[in-house]
Structure 1
């Protein structure tokens, strides 16, 4: 009887599972910590501006850290880098109730975001390097689905633990520590370190110019995802939906993100990934206009939010698979850093643009901005395909 922890025939699968576990851990902590930190800050300050700026600190940490990760990966083995980052992120998460002041929470949110960026860049680079080309988008679809599922589990944990005590902070820290276990135990091929030239900032920016369709997918997805999940409740409120109705459209969007990623990855693996991105972006540009058209008709909104969130999630899955197709070996680390940097940029600029549009033209300004973001990216990929 073979031992799945030592059988050399399962080595690739062990490494893939270890990397995908990173998505589960980060997703769970995201789902738990985002509402926990935001609501505790609201209680501490009664300032929506402070809450929003603290959330932006996580996006800024992505922009700062992503270009540095390839150099770190060239100096420290990938597994070691992930384990160190998970342990330190866990310690920081548990420190929030110890330093209960607004400046300290900005520092903690930023530094913890830096370590989480390391985990994302290294784990996604790892998957792209060892996934077989014919199954790459499907495997990344599984990765994305696990990340979305983890977010839902984290939100459930938040509902159970609440904001009244500090259990949520300690639970998040413990989850990070537990996440290091599969990285240590599931031994297999390691993430390939980039060479000196492949880890330079020039290589990272060069990756964006060599693969604009792939990197642009991350930028568009970062904006669309952040806008959808942060402002959809405001959109529903301004259309005079009940709290129950707002919850239903949020649940529909989350279900779409869970449902679509593996099928879209499977389709992209069996067709052409650039063609898949063309149609994904086109649908993501049209669906917000359909949401606008149905107004406050809740069943129609639920169906269309399900489609929009699900289809848009394919931008990340298929775009990341295109990175693995376009680059190889250590060069994937620089390309993945550019991908994560683009995602962080989109997540930083999307919400302010959408919020401003909602204030200027009404609630449907959200749908206009989402449609424009997807349409600009669709135009890019259709033009490059012509």
Structure 2
């Protein structure tokens, strides 16, 4: 019994470490590649399109990744996903060309999607019922911690262009070694596609409001990490300072995640989501007015991240309040798809807005979408499916 518990704890710890490193990689690559392309004279709209490639890879992978996971098990898929990211990381500094990097970002997206899909399913399937919620929360927090630490890798550019990529690859190789000690497992057989299609229609009908949160979270996360470096450079902030400011949004989300979850249990998910959306909208809209004041920027980004950084998890929790248990897996799939769509749209809209409108437009757009979401809560009336 003690050996089984020890093995279970080792498995969970290893999978959490996989997610931390994956979050670090994703959090570093978005701003780092944006800065390097900007250095080489690439326009902001082209830069935004290039940044979206990662999320296109993530989105496309979701349509075929279940089959290899079911056939070969979790462990091989995670290892292949990590290997793809390592290979792409090693190739980025070799040739700084937009088309080449677009392909590499697609590969990173495929690798990210594979390891996240398999890791999340493995944690859910292997966790006892009484610990499943806690373990999934650890998964979310691990990604948040990694993603927040990732932009610090920009500071390694001072040492050399290869250094940030090699450091990230070294972390992945270390986790790969730990992963080899895990015993492989396979998921249960998936349900029929026809039934899944019917469930998806029901989920969207009853829970459109809580599920929009995943779209907004993906949009915010990708827009901030892809477009904020360009914004910072345009208003005169140094690259190293950008690397220090970027994690502030994620740190704000981590700090407020548990308090907002507790308050949503007591007050209700809907009023918390509406209130945080409106406050977050105001915080994003204030960013242009603080200019290059680092304390002002840090405060605005920290408040905005604290308010909307828990949107994905709070949205799923609200969906769980409304939907019967058999529809929750479908809600998770829809949320993941919407997160990917938002992540693709974010850099595209931000890059085009920076190029054709104004340098401040990315924050006005963020403020607008969160304000509209907050107000749409007055329209949504929860029904039990």
Shorter-chain TM-score range: 0.7 to 0.9
CA–CA distance in structure 1, aligned partners of residues 362 and 378 of structure 2: 24
Aligned length: 380
CA–CA distance in structure 2, aligned partners of residues 359 and 186 of structure 1: 48
Q: Counterpart in 1 of 2:176?
A: 180
Deviates further, 371-380 or 112-121: 371-380
Residue 41 of structure 1: how far off its partner (Å): 4.8
Q: Counterpart in 2 of 1:211?
A: 207
Q: Counterpart in 2 of 1:116?
A: 112
Give the one of 18, 25, 30 matched to 1:22. 18
Q: Equivalent residues in 2 for 1:303-314 (5 A)?
A: 303-314=299-310
CA–CA distance in structure 1, aligned partners of residues 133 and 273 of structure 2: 12
Please tell me whether the aligned partners of residues 156 and 163 of structure 2 are also in contact (alpha carbons under 8 angstroms): no
Q: Counterpart in 2 of 1:379?
A: 375
Matched, 1:260 2:264: no
TM superposition score normalised by structure 1: 0.77
Question: Structure 1 residues 383, 50: CA separation in 2 closer, same or farther (over 3 Å shift)?
Answer: closer
Residue 258 of structure 1: how far off its partner (Å): 3.5
Q: Counterpart in 1 of 2:51?
A: 55
Give the one of 63, 84, 89 matched to 1:88. 84
Q: Equivalent residues in 2 for 1:235-384 (5 A)?
A: 235=231, 249-250=245-246, 252-268=248-264, 272-291=268-287, 298-322=294-318, 326=323, 334-357=330-353, 362-384=358-380
CA–CA distance in structure 1, aligned partners of residues 95 and 240 of structure 2: 36
Q: Over residues 47-102 of structure 1, what are the superposed CA-to-partner deviations in whole Å (9 max), with x where a residue is unaligned?
A: 23554333221121122122333344443423332233223332343344567755
Q: Counterpart in 2 of 1:7?
A: 4
CA–CA distance in structure 2, aligned partners of residues 20 and 371 of structure 1: 33
CA–CA distance in structure 2, aligned partners of residues 248 and 63 of structure 1: 29
Q: Secondary structure at the match of 2:190?
A: coil
Q: Secondary structure at the match of 1:384?
A: coil
Deviates further, 188-197 or 81-90: 188-197
Residue 126 of structure 1: how far off its partner (Å): 4.3
Q: Counterpart in 1 of 2:41?
A: 46
CA–CA distance in structure 1, aligned partners of residues 192 and 13 of structure 2: 28
Deviates further, 235-244 or 104-113: 235-244
Give the one of 218, 221, 227 matched to 1:225. 221
Please tell me whether the aligned partners of residues 67 and 204 of structure 1 are also in contact (alpha carbons under 8 angstroms): no
CA–CA distance in structure 2, aligned partners of residues 296 and 207 of structure 1: 44
Please tell me whether the aligned partners of residues 77 and 193 of structure 1 are also in contact (alpha carbons under 8 angstroms): no
Please tell me whether the aligned partners of residues 138 and 263 of structure 1 are also in contact (alpha carbons under 8 angstroms): no
**C-alpha RMSD of matched pairs (Å):** 4.0
Please tell me whether the aligned partners of residues 138 and 266 of structure 1 are also in contact (alpha carbons under 8 angstroms): no
Please tell me whether the aligned partners of residues 154 and 243 of structure 2 are also in contact (alpha carbons under 8 angstroms): no
Matched, 1:75 2:71: yes
Q: Counterpart in 2 of 1:149?
A: 145
Deviates further, 79-88 or 367-376: 79-88
Where in structure 1 are there 5+ consecutive unaligned residues? none
Residue 117 of structure 1: how far off its partner (Å): 1.0
Residue 20 of structure 1: how far off its partner (Å): 2.4
Question: Structure 1 residues 152, 286: CA separation in 2 closer, same or farther (over 3 Å shift)?
Answer: closer
CA–CA distance in structure 1, aligned partners of residues 360 and 205 of structure 2: 34
Question: Structure 1 residues 359, 112: CA separation in 2 closer, same or farther (over 3 Å shift)?
Answer: closer
CA–CA distance in structure 1, aligned partners of residues 318 and 66 of structure 2: 19
Deviates further, 237-246 or 71-80: 237-246
Please tell me whether the aligned partners of residues 151 and 247 of structure 2 are also in contact (alpha carbons under 8 angstroms): no
Residue 286 of structure 1: how far off its partner (Å): 3.0
Deviates further, 363-372 or 67-76: 67-76
